[in-house]
Structure 1
């Protein structure tokens, strides 16, 4: 019998679905939950990443094919190349809603409109210390620029997301007064709840959302960074508090430690919360590889969901599990099937932790055979060779060991 925590594609904890847990959730209907992907803007702000127009077109197309709802294509004021890329993505009409990012400046908002986008995310420093120390402004300047730019965006017919930089570290009363003022005297169709430096904890999110909602009756869009590894957890908490749109990047790339990872957020919603938002999870691996290639960045080999060695098994004990379960009970080997995210099947590799079943697997792979005593000797030689190499063995190295034991 299928349960929400155990289907033919995933097997997670039943504790996730206990009524005492789920009764506290305020998730919006699945049809209203959207991904606002910022790989092409905030993702590109990761040091060393520089996308060409062609790169941006490829990534935008792949995001659309994965079912992403909104794409933030970049900041047209950054360069003519970025402006052209935004215009061409709009003209390509891949399917998702297309947004541009701009400063709270009249010229930036006008340029976004000229690019043909449907919406604009307008940023302004919102913590009094950032306004003073990083920008050298009087506080009133941030207010005046926000009102002017957001009213223009409204006049131009752009869906407007007001984006207060460093909101989570601002003086709480100042911030709450600020967002109320911009909401009433300026304009916003939605408010981005911005944790620029990843400094808020998951347990603080419900209180933050509650206090913001007391002042602003607009949709809220969590934008959380990952400096403490909390980006996805914080975004999930915000979703559970009723936020519909979340800002994410592919594999979490972005400024400093990056942003909430799209694939982690979507898969957690699907498996741990039973919420399918229409994203094609089977595209995750290929999408991550495309972004990695075009970004010239390295993805940690054991990164959740899309890591290269995520499904490599070296341990002798776990190898025994694989050999017993992979055909009829594959979900005993992990929380989801590799195919759910477009990954390759589980692979048994040879190294220091390998055991008798590892040798048996590889003997079958090369069409070889050995007695039990010989297999035990092979295991010892595999371990020794791996220690000396400080890594995994190749098929050729394994064949050499087998030959030395069996025919030695």
Structure 2
């Protein structure tokens, strides 16, 4: 519920009050010793997940933390991470495979969360139900809903969509605090996407908290959500403008605490494909859990960034129908499909019903009062035969 110290606004992707996504197909707890995208997880996380976070938090406060070595020996070392990530990867690392493993790829469609921040978008409950059904018919893996604590309408819509019995997993956004987590769990969602601002700008001017505070709150919320058999993602808002060394420390910790997925977000929309490739590859070597990415399209790079993120080891991509969202929007569902078809045409056409994309795009365009763009991604129907 909104209070003077914990306000709610329509723009729920912004960090507010104490504010801060996830599937590992149920295998996260046993993944430490498995080989994920070519790196041996036995060297990544040495402390048991059941251990207290107190010692981990102490290391964060002191500026040191166990992170996987990026050298060829593969040994974990206690690193002094007081210096920021430089954006480069050690020259003696083993290059990752450039091909995309689409068998681990999932779409998290955020039309009903990020899309609500589009200038002309406001979805009533009936429209949300219609869009959710259409997204499910298309075959998206996840449908992301707005913060249930934002309003009674948001909470009611979330509960109604959860009761539809859709094949797509239903998840909702929350801030990094227990009040949001409790309300979200009560709605019946399958997954929860937790986030908090991690850039220096948001730490200074939004929630006013440091990394140690974030780690402690994340620990509390993760334990609560997991105790209710709900999967959870932890994401740093504006993480592409954050100190990436600090992001690696924090994400390594929340991975050990049991987060099913960590998220990296280009909230400001200025990330370049090369930067995305380097940072996601480095993150992939640091955590064993799934990785979600969220790209805004301010410079027209959102689809390219999503594609490069998948090549670098990301497992989940946030999209919206027609790319609607805050400012210039985010990765377009249709644009990403058009980009992925040449990569593995058979898999994409078997997994997603692309013949339903046109209806989905016109449905959303009509609801938000825009035309389908003249330069919308081209996927002729004969491709689906």
TM over 0.5: yes
* Structure 1 residue 244 displacement after superposition: 2.1
Match of 2:163 among 91, 98, 102: 91
* Structure 1 residue 138 displacement after superposition: 4.0
Indicate if the aligned counterparts of 2:261 and 2:289 stay in contact, CA closer than 8 A: yes
**TM value normalised by structure 1:** 0.67
Q: Tell me the equivalent position of 1:120.
A: 192
Indicate if the aligned counterparts of 2:211 and 2:250 stay in contact, CA closer than 8 A: no
TM-aligned CA distance change 1:41 to 1:179, over 3 Å:
same
- Secondary structure of 1:122's counterpart equals strand
Alignment of 1:31 onto 2:74: no
Deviations 1:273-307 (A, max 9, x none): 546231111111110110111122343333223xx
Q: 1:255 and 1:56 mapped to 2: Cα distance?
A: 18
Q: 2:346 and 2:382 mapped to 1: Cα distance?
A: 19
* Structure 1 residue 339 displacement after superposition: 5.1
Q: 2:280 and 2:151 mapped to 1: Cα distance?
A: 35
Alignment of 1:337 onto 2:380: yes
* Structure 1 residue 25 displacement after superposition: 2.0
* Structure 1 residue 243 displacement after superposition: 2.1
Q: 1:156 and 1:276 mapped to 2: Cα distance?
A: 34
Match of 2:279 among 178, 192, 208: 208
Indicate if the aligned counterparts of 1:194 and 1:224 stay in contact, CA closer than 8 A: yes
Indicate if the aligned counterparts of 1:26 and 1:242 stay in contact, CA closer than 8 A: no
Alignment of 1:268 onto 2:311: no
Q: Tell me the equivalent position of 1:163.
A: 235
**TM value normalised by structure 2:** 0.70
Structure having the higher Rg: 1
* Structure 1 residue 247 displacement after superposition: 0.9
Q: Tell me the equivalent position of 1:69.
A: 141
Name structure 2 gaps, 5 residues minimum: 1-95
Alignment of 1:227 onto 2:298: yes
Q: Tell me the equivalent position of 1:304.
A: 377
TM-aligned CA distance change 1:341 to 1:133, over 3 Å:
farther
* Structure 1 residue 24 displacement after superposition: 4.4
Q: CA RMSD in A?
A: 2.0
Q: Tell me the equivalent position of 2:288.
A: 217
TM-aligned CA distance change 1:131 to 1:68, over 3 Å:
same
Name structure 1 gaps, 5 residues minimum: 1-22, 306-335, 343-408
Q: Tell me the equivalent position of 1:54.
A: 126
- Secondary structure of 2:189's counterpart equals coil
Q: Tell me the equivalent position of 1:12.
A: none
Deviations 1:19-47 (A, max 9, x none): xxxx942422x333211111000111123
Q: 1:69 and 1:224 mapped to 2: Cα distance?
A: 18
Indicate if the aligned counterparts of 1:267 and 1:281 stay in contact, CA closer than 8 A: no
Indicate if the aligned counterparts of 2:263 and 2:294 stay in contact, CA closer than 8 A: yes
Deviations 1:199-220 (A, max 9, x none): 2111122211222123221111
Indicate if the aligned counterparts of 2:148 and 2:183 stay in contact, CA closer than 8 A: yes
- Secondary structure of 2:232's counterpart equals strand
Q: 2:360 and 2:167 mapped to 1: Cα distance?
A: 17
Q: 2:340 and 2:377 mapped to 1: Cα distance?
A: 15
Match of 2:311 among 227, 234, 240: 240
Q: 2:270 and 2:215 mapped to 1: Cα distance?
A: 24
* Structure of higher RCO (CA pairs closer than 8 Å, 6+ residues apart): 2
Q: Of Structure 1 and Structure 2, which has the larger fraction of its residues in helix?
A: 1
Deviations 1:72-125 (A, max 9, x none): 122211111111111111111121111111111111111111111110000111
Q: 2:384 and 2:272 mapped to 1: Cα distance?
A: 28
Alignment of 1:105 onto 2:105: no
Indicate if the aligned counterparts of 2:276 and 2:308 stay in contact, CA closer than 8 A: yes
Q: 2:202 and 2:99 mapped to 1: Cα distance?
A: 33
The number of aligned residues is 288
